[in-house]
Amino acid sequence: PAERLQYMLEDAAVKILLTQERFVSQLASLKVHTLPIDANWDIIAHHSDENPVSRATPQHSCYVLFTSGSTGRPKGVVLEHRQLINYVNGISAKLALPAGATYAMVSTFAADLGNTVLFPSLCMGGCLHVITQERATNPEALAAYFRANPIDCLKIVPSHLSALLDPTVVPPLKVQRWLVLGGEACDWKLLRRVREAMPDCEILNHYGPTETTVGVLAHHLEGIPKDSQKKPPIGRPLPNTQVYILDRYGQPVGVGVTGELHIGGSGLARGYLNHPQL
């Protein structure tokens, strides 16, 4: 919605909005300098094509992502380079993919879900396939693309994956090495469907809020029970992360006792942009 866009631009004190020409008319009401990069190549061509000198330090902000705002107004979460690097190293060690591995990104760049494949592929010498929205929502087209371009690692939301596992598509969608599930809870019913379609693929259940840099807990789902009333485990922390289950008094609870998840460590974001009180 235009109201949300305007609020985020103002809250983040954005000076320039980079976009594409097809969106300019939709953004006309926003009070920000808009630059459609696909329509300004004649201007861009006059500038240097040399790589700029990077003066970024681990403590500098790397990106800002706004929360959904489901419990109030959206908040901009400020992540630093050191937090992202900690995550990239941790998840890459978990996946243990070789240099040259192939990764597929089927989610929007406007969320951190895809950072599980985006930055590890670039940092570990891999190949990143950025899938269009049209193909990413078409079970037959995506399955055909993955057959033509074998993918070692895919990160996806469970409900999205469920829609892609269309029983009428033969052969089905296939990932070669790792399927990483995150963004929402998954269930055993979906995992059994995944195992039928991809018997040789490893499955990682991944959990973490935006405020802790993409994900902090991961569980390698080696066994898929035929029937279970429980949710699949979300696993144990990535390196340099501490996770505790505490009661309302801030005390650790015993095994099997319901509590609230508390997360700390190197992945914790700097804070909320322009809202230190939060």
The confidence band for 266, taking pLDDT boundaries of 50, 70 and 90, is very high
Q: In whole angstroms, give the CA distance from residue 189 to residue 201.
A: 17
Task: Name the strand (E) or helix (H) holding 142.
Answer: helix 139-148
Looking at this protein, which amino acid is placed at residue 130?
V
Task: Name the strand (E) or helix (H) holding 260.
Answer: strand 260-265
Task: Please say whether the beta carbons of 61 and 80 come within 8 A.
Answer: yes
SS (H, E, C) 145-210: HHHHCCCCEEEECHHHHHHHCCCCCCCCCCCCCEEEECCCCCCHHHHHHHHHHCCCCEEEEEECCH
- The rounded percent of the chain whose pLDDT value lies above 90 is 76
Give pTM, 2 decimals: 0.91
How long a stretch of residues is the chain? 278
Task: Look at residue 239 in the predicted model and tell me its pLDDT.
Answer: 96
Mean pLDDT of 114-131: 96
- Per-residue pLDDT for 226 more than 90? no
Task: Please say whether the beta carbons of 33 and 16 come within 8 A.
Answer: yes
pLDDT in tens, 242-264: 999 999 999 999 998 999 999 99
Q: In whole angstroms, give the CA distance from residue 119 to residue 213.
A: 12
SS (H, E, C) 53-81: CCCCCCCCEEEEEECCCCCCCCCEEEEEH
The whole-angstrom distance between residue 149's C-alpha and the CA centroid of its chain comes to 22
Mean pLDDT of 209-220: 95
Q: For residue 127, how many C-alpha atoms fall within 13 Å in the half-sphere facing its CB?
A: 8
